Amino acid sequence: MWKGRIPTYKTLKVWGCLAKVQVPLPKRVKLGPKTIDCVFIGFSNTSAAYKFLVIKSDISDIHVNTIIESVDADFFEEIFPYKEKRSGLNRRKVYDGNLDEPSSSGVQEKEVEPRRGKRTKTPKRVGPYFVSFLTEEEPQTYKEAMASPEAPLWKEAVNSEVESIMQNHMWELVDLPHGNKPIGYKWIFKRKLKADGTIDKYKARIVAKGYRQKEGLDYFDTYSPVSRITSIRMLIAIAAIHNMGIHQMDVKTAFLNGELDEEIYMEQPEGFVVKGQETKVCKLVKSLYGLKQAPKQWHQKFDHTMMSHGFKINECDKCVYIKNNKNSCVLVYLYVDDMLIMGTSKDAINSTKKMLNSSFDMKDLGQADVILGIQIKRNNDGYILTQSHYAEFFLRKFGQFDCKPAVTPFDVNCKLKKNSGDAISQLEYSQVIGSLMYLMNSTRPDLAYSVSRLSRYTSNHEHDH
């Protein structure tokens, strides 16, 4: 009999064994049994407790065939109530509550009909529309990009990416050590759009297949803070009140700045395999896009740079930095590799830009225009945030651009109810709700009630929804 935490190496041996679990009595019951009979089925995903299936209970608040979690239990590793006997018909050993003679009267054999689910399985038809919606007809592979009509533009983007990698000394070509296995990579191609929807530039990235990394060997900590949309609105409101200018900068190769502490090997990227050294692999010196620790390493490097130049980290949002001088104040907002710089004077903003340029490979975008799909426009009264281009884009995408405008976002006379039949265009409906949620969280809080009501029927909706 085991009591307390079961050693890891014994887990498989005692999985499904009998356990006496101690539970608190309900307040209305003064006397009664303090333990119930359960079967050990594993460990909790959210705490250090065990998971048990109740098979016998004299306490009315705890029912049979329910799953509970507890740390107070005695394990009887010789008794397996649900162990199947693989001979003859489908039989199952059922525990009758007697611990004294587990081999004879403690276990009874009964014929049990296997339980089958009654729910009808409906296949999910994704179709080609889903793929085109996600990719927006951008190349999925290196060969596809080089064979497309825009091949010269993609080639320029690929050369720029490799040039940045070589300048940053991202990897070294070495022979793969015995016992090691290199991770793969993937070329990612993306068209960056301007505020009016036209193409700004073509971007290519080499992304490591970080899902092949092994925790404790290829990476340890992966946590990295990400700023919130509400922080953008708050900072722009502060800038409007104090008449601060807002400029925008972009880190060209953000994740390539983090230093790696682990030893990671990657295959040579397609199109840039060194002749005569085809069997060698890339030993990563710095972090790369796709690695599990890349965001953490980049943010750690940026934190160190900002703090060494007199900036302080905001306690409410770890991606907001502030620096106060006698005659000026500067705020820096970072979202992965996009940043807004707000200052009370042009000199303060320019000095911050100069500092960042000396530390990272930056691109100065001048006055803030678009960040995270949100357009920033300045007028005499302050700043205006709008997502008209984004709204127009998804209205056209879902064929609703010619719909009639309404005074209120929700029709008060519309009575929505649960669909009793099959769901209609479930994938498209989910995409519409997701697009509306992003719009609501960014610049249209007036849509909150409408989105909340419609989100309740995402799993099963009809034409009215």
3-state secondary structure of 228: coil
pLDDT of residue 13: 64
- Beta strands across the sheet bearing 18-22: 2-3, 73-76, 18-22, 35-43, 50-56, 67-70
Tokens found for residue 265: 């090997």
Question: Is 145 within a domain?
Answer: yes
3-state secondary structure of 107: strand
pLDDT band, very low/low/confident/very high, at 89 (cuts 50, 70, 90):
very low
3-state secondary structure of 349: helix
Q: Say yes or no: 288 and 307 in one domain.
A: yes
pLDDT of residue 134: 38
pLDDT band, very low/low/confident/very high, at 123 (cuts 50, 70, 90):
very low
Q: What is the pLDDT of residues 291-319, one digit of tens each?
A: 888 888 888 889 899 999 999 999 888 89
* Residue 26 vs residue 132, higher pLDDT: 26
Question: Is 465 within a domain?
Answer: no
Question: Is 121 within a domain?
Answer: no
Mean confidence (pLDDT) of the chain: 80
Q: What is the pLDDT of residues 8-56, one digit of tens each?
A: 545 556 788 888 888 876 655 556 677 888 999 888 887 888 899 888 8
Q: Which amino acid is at 280?
A: K
Tokens found for residue 270: 């397609």
* Strand-pair category, 265-266 with 107-111: unpaired
pLDDT of residue 257: 81
Q: Say yes or no: 198 and 289 in one domain.
A: yes
pLDDT band, very low/low/confident/very high, at 132 (cuts 50, 70, 90):
very low
Task: Please say if the pLDDT value at position 357 is more than 50.
Answer: yes
Q: What is the 8-class DSSP label of residue 212? A: G
The DSSP bridge partners found for residue 174 are 281
- Beta strands across the sheet bearing 245-251: 312-313, 320-324, 329-335, 338-343, 245-251, 362-367
Q: Highest mean pLDDT range out of 62-66, 76-80, 384-388?
A: 384-388
The residue among 204, 208, 140, 203 whose CA lies nearest residue 170 is 208
For a pLDDT cut of 90, what percent of the chain falls above it?
A: 14
Question: Is 217 within a domain?
Answer: yes
Q: Which amino acid is at 420?
A: S
436 burial level (CB within 10 Å; 0-12, 13-18, 19+): buried
Question: Is 445 within a domain?
Answer: yes
Q: Say yes or no: 357 and 420 in one domain.
A: no
CB 281 within 8 A of CB 173: yes
Neighbours of 439 (CB within 10 A): 18
Q: Say yes or no: 373 and 397 in one domain.
A: no
Q: Say yes or no: 105 and 144 in one domain.
A: no
* Residue 29 vs residue 177, higher pLDDT: 177
Question: Is 376 within a domain?
Answer: yes
> Average pLDDT in the 216-243 region?
86
pLDDT of residue 100: 47
465 burial level (CB within 10 Å; 0-12, 13-18, 19+): buried
pLDDT of residue 62: 79
Q: Say yes or no: 396 and 273 in one domain.
A: no
Q: Say yes or no: 377 and 392 in one domain.
A: no
Q: Say yes or no: 171 and 267 in one domain.
A: yes
Per-residue b or e along 287-302, where b marks 16 or more CB atoms closer than 10 Å to that residue's CB:
bbbbbbbbbbbbbbbb
pLDDT band, very low/low/confident/very high, at 106 (cuts 50, 70, 90):
very low
Q: Which of 382, 398, 414 is the last residue of a domain?
A: 382
Tokens found for residue 388: 């008209």
Q: Which residues contact 456 (CB under 8 A, 6 or more apart)?
A: 416
Task: Please say if the pLDDT value at position 342 is more than 90.
Answer: yes
Question: In the chain, how many domains are there?
Answer: 3
Question: Is 117 within a domain?
Answer: no
Q: Which of 335, 355, 382 is the last residue of a domain?
A: 382
**Dmax of the chain from CA atoms?**
89
Task: Please say if the pLDDT value at position 332 is more than 90.
Answer: yes
Tokens found for residue 312: 């302080």
Q: Say yes or no: 431 and 314 in one domain.
A: no
Question: Is 120 within a domain?
Answer: no
Tokens found for residue 243: 């008449």
Q: What is the pLDDT of residues 143-167, one digit of tens each?
A: 888 888 888 899 999 988 888 888 8
3-state secondary structure of 442: helix
- Beta strands across the sheet bearing 382-386: 370-371, 374-379, 382-386
Q: Say yes or no: 101 and 234 in one domain.
A: no
Q: Say yes or no: 76 and 136 in one domain.
A: no
Q: Highest mean pLDDT range out of 129-138, 241-250, 406-415?
A: 241-250
pLDDT of residue 354: 93
- Beta strands across the sheet bearing 107-111: 84-85, 91-95, 107-111
Task: Please say if the pLDDT value at position 388 is more than 90.
Answer: no
Q: What is the pTM of this model?
A: 0.58
Range of the domain at 295: 130-382
166 burial level (CB within 10 Å; 0-12, 13-18, 19+): exposed
Q: Which of 320, 350, 382 is the last residue of a domain?
A: 382
Task: Please say if the pLDDT value at position 126 is more than 80.
Answer: no
Q: Say yes or no: 327 and 353 in one domain.
A: yes
